[in-house]
């Protein structure tokens, strides 16, 4: 179905300017990725009417947020003087415990984290008062309710919480350099185009937004230290991540792809069903497996290219994180020069009790539903399995 009328670039830019009452989008780095995305959504994407509205709405929100952010930067230039200090960055394939580990680390009262509502709408609305509940929270709560009502299986797949730390990939989405669109709909030509792009502008925009969020948190009375970040998508861009955040420490989680790939596809396929009539599960499987192969190949190439890998990375086995999460936190803190103070340990223990996995529905899926055979997955990730999984399994 042709949805080009939904994704007319000039009209979207005009609507964003009208909604924000502003015209300065800042740096033009976002324009080429925006044009490519709009062409894909209007042409190749098999969107239904609801899906077209969802994707168009997200793009419009990003454009309005960008306009308002530039206005804040102009009026409060001290925002861009904020220092994002030595972030702890959790990476790993999806379904490897990244969310749990991020939220445990973010329980330390000394750490900043990007909350889900902040990643979706990082720019304060006009008239926001720092000593009152932020009005963006209500919008985020409504959006999460809608997602879980439309795709109830998501409750078993991911712990949706608008007030909890979540992935800054949604901040990269506002720069129109992210893999978020392909999580919502099949756009293979756009995926191939994206793989050839320089993500530097996206990560530099991420840093600006983190500076902005840090400044906002301080206005609300939150004065902390390091950021705890988390996005599986960073696996393919570790060179750029360290270029933009040179003092970062990466925590990479590991789990056998035979277990993670089918589970991950089920998450994305659930989103595809929100935007597409009768999406192809086998196509979802092929695309996700290709994405993870691409990301892990780039990850291993980067790790092979640096001399100080042991100082920059802490590797965590999924089963160890489940069985003894605080022991893994201790390893991260030791590698990062942090002390696990009693207040932080108590907060982490409380989070683990309150957010035990058995409080959510079981995740029901099968590899066969997405056209996978175990041998195919093992062969596709042979190098990664030999390097990271086999040593853990032998131990």
CATH superfamily entry for domain 83-394: P-loop containing nucleotide triphosphate hydrolases (3.40.50.300)
β-pairing verdict for 227-230 and 249-254: unpaired
Read off the pTM.
0.95
Residue 1 banded pLDDT, cuts 50, 70, 90: low
Hey, which residues does 387 pair with through a beta bridge?
A: none
User: Which spans in 128-199 are helix H?
Assistant: 135-150, 154-157, 169-174, 180-184, 188-195
Rounded to whole angstroms, the Cα distance separating 322 from 370 reads 27
How much is the pLDDT for 55?
97
pLDDT at 357 over 70: no
CB atoms within 10 A of CB 8: 14
Mean pLDDT of 273-288: 95
Task: Give me the DSSP letters along 90-124.
Answer: EE-STTSSHHHHHHHHHTSTT-EE-BHHHHH--SP
- Domain-wise residue ranges, the chain: 83-394
How much is the pLDDT for 362?
65
Q: With both helix axes pointing from N to C terminus, report the angle between 342-354 and 98-106 in degrees, rounded to the nearest 10.
A: 140
If 0-12 CB within 10 Å is exposed, 13-18 middle and 19+ buried, where does residue 206 land? buried
How much is the pLDDT for 267?
87
Structural contact between residues 145 and 135, judged by C-beta atoms closer than 8 angstroms = no
Residue 255 banded pLDDT, cuts 50, 70, 90: very high
Structural contact between residues 300 and 388, judged by C-beta atoms closer than 8 angstroms = no
Mean pLDDT of 351-375: 78
Task: Give me the DSSP letters along 237-300.
Answer: GHHHHHHHSTT-EEEEEE--HHHHHHHHHHHHHHHHHHHSSS--HHHHHHHHHHHHHHHHHHHH
Please provide the average confidence, as pLDDT, over all residues in the chain.
94
pLDDT tens, 163-213?
999 999 999 999 999 999 999 999 999 999 999 999 999 999 999 999 999
Residue 387, phi then psi, degrees to nearest 5: -80, -40
Nearest residue to 384 via CA among 197, 235, 241: 235
Mean pLDDT of 330-351: 97
């Amino acid at each position: 179905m042709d949805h080009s009328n939904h994704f007319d670039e000039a009209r979207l830019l005009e609507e964003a300017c009208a909604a924000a009452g502003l015209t300065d989008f800042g740096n033009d780095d976002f324009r080429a990725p925006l044009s490519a995305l709009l062409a894909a959504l209007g042409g190749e994407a098999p969107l239904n009417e609801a899906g077209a509205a969802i994707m168009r709405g997200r793009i419009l929100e990003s454009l309005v947020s960008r306009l308002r952010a530039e206005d804040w930067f102009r009026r409060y230039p001290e925002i861009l003087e904020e220092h994002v200090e030595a972030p702890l960055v959790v990476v790993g394939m999806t379904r490897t415990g990244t969310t749990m580990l991020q939220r445990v680390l973010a329980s330390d009262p000394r750490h900043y984290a990007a909350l889900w509502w902040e990643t979706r709408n990082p720019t304060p609305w006009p008239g926001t008062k720092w000593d009152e509940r932020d009005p963006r929270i209500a919008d985020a709560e409504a959006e999460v309710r809608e997602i879980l009502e439309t795709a109830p299986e998501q409750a078993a797949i991911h712990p949706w919480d608008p007030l909890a730390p979540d992935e800054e990939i949604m901040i990269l989405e506002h720069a129109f350099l992210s893999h978020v669109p392909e999580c919502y709909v099949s756009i293979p030509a756009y995926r191939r185009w994206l793989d050839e792009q320089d993500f530097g502008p996206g990560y530099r925009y991420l840093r600006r937004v983190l500076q902005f969020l840090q400044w906002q948190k301080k206005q609300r009375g939150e004065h902390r230290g390091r950021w705890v970040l988390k996005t599986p998508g960073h696996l393919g861009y570790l060179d750029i991540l360290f270029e933009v955040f040179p003092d970062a420490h990466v925590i990479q989680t590991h789990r056998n792809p035979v277990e993670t790939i089918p589970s991950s596809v089920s998450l994305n396929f659930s989103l595809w069903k929100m935007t597409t009539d009768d999406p192809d599960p086998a196509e979802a499987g092929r695309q996700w497996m290709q994405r993870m192969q691409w990301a892990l190949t780039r990850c291993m190439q980067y790790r092979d290219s640096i001399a100080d890998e042991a100082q920059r990375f802490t590797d965590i086995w999924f089963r160890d994180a489940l069985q003894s999460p605080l022991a893994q936190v201790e390893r991260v803190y030791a590698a990062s020069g942090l002390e696990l103070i009693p207040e932080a340990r108590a907060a982490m223990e409380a989070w683990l009790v309150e957010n035990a996995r058995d409080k959510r529905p079981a995740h029901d899926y099968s590899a066969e539903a997405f056209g996978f055979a175990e041998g195919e997955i093992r062969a596709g990730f042979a190098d990664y399995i030999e390097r990271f999984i086999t040593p853990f399994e032998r131990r």
